[in-house]
Amino acid sequence: MVDETKAPAGGAVVKTLDDLPGVGPTKAKWLKAAGIKDLQAARDVPLEKLMHVRGIGRLLAVRIKEVLTGQETGSDATATTDAQASDLTEGQMQWQETVTEHQGSIMVLVSDLLAQPQKYGLKPKFMKDLERLGTVVDGLPVSTPPIDGTRRGKIVKHLKAIRVLLESAVKMDEDSDKHRKVVKEKLRDRRKKLERWT
């Protein structure tokens, strides 16, 4: 049986993640990488988790939920989101999008590393550090961006550095001892700096 949802206001039938408004093939791929494999999974996932998927953000997450639930709570959710968005500065909204994208990428990379520790030569202590890093990154205040531009800038700076380090980490193998040690130390340092600014 094909999972189908009729888009509101006489819109097209939504059969796959790609069909959701504002999603398309690239964001559908990111949703799948975050464990949201189909429409039912997107329906079941909490809004807070959906908005943290790379490339999604709060506004698109609410829109997706509206379509998938047939807009049962659409007007309330939209009104709340519109009110929240109107209270934010342009810098805060841009920060939300940037942080959401980095969060999604980082969480996928952390999941990949933790899922295959032997492939990357990870020891329990490094894995514990990665879990803690994932918790810190996942807990960032995306829905309530800091007012202070310096604080927002520092958070983005550390997220970018963490993402680059993790992208380097997934290129490691069992024999990358020196590289792994450097990555581990730098990740721990960046996580601590990120915690200071959140």
Find the CATH number of the domain harbouring 59: 1.10.150.20
Question: What SS3 state is found at 127?
Answer: helix
Nearest in space to 27 (alpha carbons), one of 42, 7, 8, 9 = 42
Which of 52, 82, 112 is the last residue before a domain boundary?
Answer: 82
Do residues 102 and 160 make contact, with C-beta atoms less than 8 angstroms apart? yes
| Amino acid residing at 85 | A
Residues 128 and 59 in one domain: no
Q: What is the pLDDT of residue 106?
A: 92
Residues 96 and 180 in one domain: yes
Q: What is the pLDDT of residue 73?
A: 43
Residues 41 and 95 in one domain: no
Residues 133 and 183 in one domain: yes
Report the distance separating Cα 83 and Cα 186, nearest Å: 39
Which of 33, 63, 82 is the last residue before a domain boundary?
Answer: 82
Residues 23 and 39 in one domain: yes
Nearest in space to 141 (alpha carbons), one of 194, 90, 79 = 194
Residues 45 and 132 in one domain: no
Domains in the chain, number: 2
Residues 97 and 175 in one domain: yes
Q: Which two tokens stand for residue 187?
A: 């990740």
Residues 9 and 60 in one domain: yes
Residues 94 and 111 in one domain: yes
Q: What is the pLDDT of residue 4?
A: 55
Q: What is the pLDDT of residue 12?
A: 58
**Which residue ranges in the chain fall short of pLDDT 50?**
1-2, 7-10, 71-80, 82-83
Report the distance separating Cα 87 and Cα 153, nearest Å: 19
Q: What is the pLDDT of residue 66?
A: 82
Residue ranges making up the domain that contains 124: 89-197
Do residues 136 and 197 make contact, with C-beta atoms less than 8 angstroms apart? no
Q: Which two tokens stand for residue 180?
A: 């792994």
Q: How many residues does the chain have?
A: 198
Residues 14 and 103 in one domain: no
Residues 74 and 97 in one domain: no
Q: What is the pLDDT of residue 26?
A: 82
Torsion of CA 7, 12, 16, 19, to 10 degrees: -90
End-to-end CA distance of the chain: 45
Give the contacts of 37 (CB within 8 A, at least 6 positions apart): none
Global pTM reads 0.60
Which of 17, 49, 82 is the last residue before a domain boundary?
Answer: 82
CA 15, 17, 22, 26 dihedral sign is: negative
DSSP single-letter state for residue 17: G
Residues 65 and 103 in one domain: no
Question: What SS3 state is found at 142?
Answer: coil
